[in-house]
Structure 1
Amino acid sequence: MIRYLFFILLFFIACEKKTVIHNAPEADKLYDEGTSLLLKDNIEAYKKFQEALNYYYKTRDSSNISKSLICQAIAQKYTGDIFGAEATLVDALTFMKEGDESLYSAYSTLGDIKYAQKEYSSAEEWYAKGLSEKNTSEKDKFDMLNNKGAAEYRQKKYSEALKTLRSIDPKNVNDINLKNRIKENIVYTQWLQDKNYPAQSEFEELLKLKLKNNDNWGANSSYSHLAEINQDSNPNISLYYAHQMLNTAEKIKSPDDRLEAIEKISLVDNPSNAIKNFKQYKHLSDSIQSYKNDNRNRFAYIKYDGEKKEIENQRLKAEKVEKEFQLLWQYFLSGLLVALIIIIIILYKKRQKKLQQEKEIEVKNTQLKMSKKVHDVVANGLYHMMIDVQNNPEMDKTRILNDIEKMYEESRDISHENIAEKDFALRFINMITSYSSDEQKVLPLGYKENIWESIAYNTQLELYYTLREILVNMKKHSQAKLASVRFEKDNYNLKIKYTDNGIGINNLDQKKGTGIHNTENRIENIGGDITFEKNPTGGLIVQITIPIQSKYV
């Protein structure tokens, strides 16, 4: 039945209409527009990339999806949404495979993000991953090596940083601004390693080169370093360069550089200006944070709005598909209901048949149980009386009648619960001794009337019938001249050991049937243990162990 349901489901899946989306030109156009806006109007660029992504997701174009996400992360990073940029890049990595040409860009940007978060060790690892990519261009490689060196000296790993930076051959660096940044990082690292290093003249020379090439961002880096190295020895010079950095930061509209410049000014400025500098720093810091929060919210809204539109489109398509398949699903559910009804009917019939079989088995078991009891009470009882009369020819009629009456009561109460009798201990020992004659001696050893204390009455009866079964078999088959029944009792167990010197039982393991099987079942039912074994001197040994019960029945 399950197999047929599986085929029905396959039918529905096969019937579903596949929508082929031919929109790559539109998506690529949006992507190109976003690229042209990147670093100019990052908010608008982010929006273009989001619109392109909505198309790329439909066509499962993982390559362009990852590229668009990387560009979005760059837009977020340059507008201060560092954590959002990191999340976007992690999303981009899920669409990339080993050897993807965009991997180096993702790794490099993640390195920049970690550097901005001052997680320099993590930044170093991401730069190293980017450098391991085979598709990395020479320019990108030099740029990542420079950034890796910066991450290393931030961790005070000056020797490693210098090794990384000096691994770049200046002759191979065509970008003059990048070449100047690499040189400046080398000088700065040398100064960090040895504060006596004459870095002033080298920084000033590099500053001239940057200003000559209109590299204001690079010039700000030089101003920052010149302010730092003169902070303790020449506060006035440090203050001058800090003000130069502030002016340039305002010119290039870099709030982070402005904040750093004000911080450097505060360290060397006249104490009377401390409050003014603090207010300026606090106001700028709050403005930057507000700006970053606003951009973060804008990015979130753009993504939400784009996803919302896509969800709405998908909902309309889903409604159409739902209507087309609604009738088929009704047929399917109707068929499933019919199948379930058939299964229920089949299971019901099987259940009824099983219950009927269980009743028949129960009746047979009851019949066997009753037959067993009749055998134990009547057949063995009669044989016991015969033995008793034979061994005691002078037995009076009263005793015989009492025995017959007792057997009658037992046979009458076969299907009822047993009621404890007061003279059971005497009857038990009389039963054992009745099998003793001049030709066959049966000796009870260690038997006392109080031995039955703490022994449930149903257990007493089962032991009575079991031992009588053993003695009947002894009388009929063993040819024994001497038998003994030893009783031992402690706080935990009652032990009964039967021993005779007869012919024993050949092939004992193969002859466990009838009488032996009955005794085993009896002892097992009362939680005891019974074993049959050969007597080393000839004959049979039967050992019975019964746990002491703490409750009377």
Structure 2
Amino acid sequence: MKYFYLITLFFLFSCKKNGENLHPISDKIPSFSKAEMFYENKKMDSAFKYFNEASTYYLLKKDSIRYASSLAYLSIISIEQGDYYGSEELNTAAIKYLKQPRDNEYLLSIYNSIAISRKNLKDYKTAIIWYNKALNVAKKTDDKITIKNNIAIANAKMKNFTEAVKILDSLYFNMQNAQNTRLKSKILDNLAYTKFLQDSQYDAEKELNKALTIRNENNDIWGLNASYAHLSDFYSNINKQKSLLYANKMYEVATSLKSPDDKLEALQKVILLENDHIQSRNYFNIYQKLQDSLQTARNKAKNQFALIRYEAEKNKADFLKSKAENSQKENQILKQYIVLGILLIILVWLYFGFKRRKKRLQREKELEVKNTEIKYSKKVHDKVANKVYHVMSEVENIPVLDKDELLDKLENIYHISRDISYDDKDLAVEKDFSKQLSKMLKSYSSEIIKVPIIGNEEELWNGVSETAKIEVFYILQELMTNMKKHSKADRVLIDFERENNLITISYSDNGVGIQKHSPKNGLKNTESRINSINGTINFESTTEKGLKINLSFPAKN
């Protein structure tokens, strides 16, 4: 009966009402609006043509929602014209462009439409599968009830009456207080009719009439059509007059609804029930003419629809071919622009790269000059200033100083200052480095300043490179010089330790601490020197305990 695919239209119209808010899709084009107008006026050939035009447009514009909506309309028109396979093909194409859960309302309509096509092809088992798909995406309670009702009817068609009654009975029980009386009357009518089909002795009269009364009160014309069909079947074996009465009423309603399928069903009932052979023959002639005209019209519509779709596909293919050719030309032009753009970028990159390189070289030269200045400044500080102060300390602390020895030391300082630009080391590491180092450290001691040294044995320096020895010598010389200048200490302790490959030197004095004599350049140089031999240096200073410095470095790098 046409009543079943009207449900699909209901789902689709619901999508139309809500779809604008659910999906940001483009406005309807004129062909879609025309198609809707023709559909509402029952001009299906024109409606099909314009819905097909709209579907092609929306497909090319990648508007998946409108495209699926257009195909859904086309599938419903195909069902009305009896083209169930064509309808299923259209719906299957629409599914590919819809996604869950975003497009569930559209999928609900399409799944239901496929189920109706399968039902009309009497493939009830497959119809139930698609009804269940629709049930899985349905959100509204009434939609779920309607789909379950359709599943029950499909089971009844397969004579699975027990399952059908079970579903309908559950639905009706849960709808006792339902406000939707139309839906409630439908469930009641189908439940009573299915029980009658299951057991021909079942008295369904009261329930069928109750459903009929509700439908009359609601002016539910499609519902009345179904009620008259069921009542006619119910009375067919117990009261043929009543059965004929309801068959005639069904025919009148089907005629007012312009539903040829329902008119044919009603005429079948009338022909079988009519006792007047002449009247029965008249009805048979009407039935035959209606069936022939309906079949002819549907065959014509199917052929016309097939031609419309063929021409649309051909036009789409021509359009896509033209678009592809234009796209190819555009791609060729784009490639040329890209090549020119790349060349331009390369030229710009080379230009700016040259400028950057020029600036980098200039900065490197400036940095080289600066580093050279720092290098010589460091050499002057380490090799001249510290040695001068060392000699001054000896003069101050040694009561009787050999004049020749003093002159030799001053001459050595002179040669160092004269040859300051050379890289030759002014310090020659002696074979007994520990004694050389202790001698330098002791030179800072006096009657006032005591410099005890712990652990500076020759074994300590086994395997240590000459470079490391020189750096350590200058670091300790710097520390002693700063102590003598600034600390006001009267006791300095220097403790040497070696554990495996790590040498640790602890310096401590009881002076005023680093707060009073900041490291300045000299102590900063000690950091760069210790870093050059992969070592570390830590300063600990308080006003109460003086200065503590711990430095450590690997004996073998």
TM class, shorter-length = 0.5 to 0.7
Aligned residue type for 2:469: Q
For residues 412-451 of structure 1, the C-alpha deviation after alignment (integer angstroms, 9 at most, x for no partner) is 7963689976333332122112222333221111221121
Contact 1:495 1:545 in 2 (8 A): yes
Partner of 1:470: 479
Aligned residue type for 1:349: K
Aligned residue type for 2:149: N
For residues 24-60 of structure 1, the C-alpha deviation after alignment (integer angstroms, 9 at most, x for no partner) is 688779989998479xxxxxx9999655522455688
RMSD, matched Cα: 5.9
Q: Distance in 2 between matches of 1:63 and 1:158?
A: 37
Q: How does 1:435-446 map to 2 (within 5 A)?
A: 435-446=444-455
Q: Distance in 2 between matches of 1:57 and 1:95?
A: 21
- What SS is found at the alignment partner of 2:448? coil
- What SS is found at the alignment partner of 2:452? strand
Find the partner of 1:53 among 52, 55, 72: 55
Contact 1:432 1:468 in 2 (8 A): yes
Residues 1:129 and 2:139 are matched in the alignment: yes
Q: Distance in 1 between matches of 2:31 and 2:325?
A: 19
Quote the offset at 1:455 in angstroms.
Answer: 3.8
Residues 1:209 and 2:233 are matched in the alignment: yes
Contact 2:165 2:191 in 1 (8 A): no
**TM-score w.r.t. structure 1 length?**
0.56
Give the direction of change, closer, same or farther, for the CA distance of 1:524–1:93 in structure 2 (3 Å limit).
closer
Quote the offset at 1:345 in angstroms.
Answer: 2.7
Partner of 1:415: 423
Give the direction of change, closer, same or farther, for the CA distance of 1:51–1:431 in structure 2 (3 Å limit).
same
Partner of 1:116: 127
Contact 1:31 1:49 in 2 (8 A): no
Quote the offset at 1:349 in angstroms.
Answer: 1.9
Contact 1:496 1:545 in 2 (8 A): yes
- What SS is found at the alignment partner of 2:233? helix
Q: Distance in 2 between matches of 1:377 and 1:152?
A: 108
Give the direction of change, closer, same or farther, for the CA distance of 1:535–1:172 in structure 2 (3 Å limit).
closer
Q: Distance in 1 between matches of 2:165 and 2:429?
A: 99
Quote the offset at 1:472 in angstroms.
Answer: 1.3
Q: Distance in 2 between matches of 1:343 and 1:47?
A: 58
Contact 1:442 1:482 in 2 (8 A): yes
Aligned residue type for 1:146: N
Partner of 1:361: 367
Q: Distance in 2 between matches of 1:51 and 1:108?
A: 24
- What SS is found at the alignment partner of 2:445? coil
Give the direction of change, closer, same or farther, for the CA distance of 1:110–1:334 in structure 2 (3 Å limit).
same
Partner of 2:214: none
Residues 1:70 and 2:62 are matched in the alignment: no
Aligned residue type for 2:70: S
Question: Alignment length, in residue pairs?
Answer: 424
Give the direction of change, closer, same or farther, for the CA distance of 1:131–1:422 in structure 2 (3 Å limit).
same
Q: Distance in 1 between matches of 2:264 and 2:500?
A: 97
Aligned residue type for 1:348: F
- What SS is found at the alignment partner of 2:139? helix
Aligned residue type for 2:67: I
- What SS is found at the alignment partner of 1:91? coil
Q: Distance in 2 between matches of 1:464 and 1:550?
A: 17
Contact 2:112 2:130 in 1 (8 A): no
**More displaced stretch, 439-448 vs 522-531:** 522-531
Find the partner of 1:383 among 376, 381, 389: 389
Partner of 1:289: none
Q: Distance in 2 between matches of 1:499 and 1:391?
A: 21
Aligned residue type for 1:109: S
Give the direction of change, closer, same or farther, for the CA distance of 1:106–1:130 in structure 2 (3 Å limit).
farther
Quote the offset at 1:398 in angstroms.
Answer: 7.1
Q: Distance in 1 between matches of 2:477 and 2:42?
A: 104
Find the partner of 1:147 among 147, 150, 155: 150
**More displaced stretch, 117-126 vs 411-420:** 411-420
Give the direction of change, closer, same or farther, for the CA distance of 1:115–1:527 in structure 2 (3 Å limit).
farther
Q: Distance in 1 between matches of 2:184 and 2:164?
A: 28
**More displaced stretch, 435-444 vs 105-114:** 105-114
Q: How does 1:116-515 map to 2 (within 5 A)?
A: 116=127, 118=129, 122-126=133-137, 128-129=138-139, 143-147=146-150, 161-165=168-172, 167=175, 172=182, 183-185=192-194, 199-202=199-202, 209=233, 307-315=316-324, 322=330, 341=347, 344-388=350-394, 390-392=396-398, 393-394=400-401, 401=408, 415=423, 422-491=431-500, 493-507=502-516, 511-515=518-522
Q: Distance in 2 between matches of 1:357 and 1:340?
A: 25
Aligned residue type for 2:139: K
Identity of aligned residues (%): 28
Aligned residue type for 1:499: S
Partner of 1:225: none
Residues 1:545 and 2:552 are matched in the alignment: yes
Contact 1:381 1:407 in 2 (8 A): no
- What SS is found at the alignment partner of 2:505? strand
Give unpaired runs (5+ residues) of structure 1.
Answer: 1-20, 39-44, 134-140, 189-197, 220-250, 252-297
Give unpaired runs (5+ residues) of structure 2.
Answer: 1-28, 119-124, 206-229, 237-242, 248-260, 267-290, 292-306
Aligned residue type for 1:490: E
For residues 100-139 of structure 1, the C-alpha deviation after alignment (integer angstroms, 9 at most, x for no partner) is 8x7763363377689637377544223x336567xxxxxx
Quote the offset at 1:526 in angstroms.
Answer: 3.3
Give the direction of change, closer, same or farther, for the CA distance of 1:209–1:423 in structure 2 (3 Å limit).
same
Give the direction of change, closer, same or farther, for the CA distance of 1:62–1:498 in structure 2 (3 Å limit).
closer
Contact 1:478 1:504 in 2 (8 A): yes
Give the direction of change, closer, same or farther, for the CA distance of 1:366–1:390 in structure 2 (3 Å limit).
same
Give the direction of change, closer, same or farther, for the CA distance of 1:111–1:364 in structure 2 (3 Å limit).
farther
Q: Distance in 2 between matches of 1:34 and 1:306?
A: 27
Partner of 1:239: none
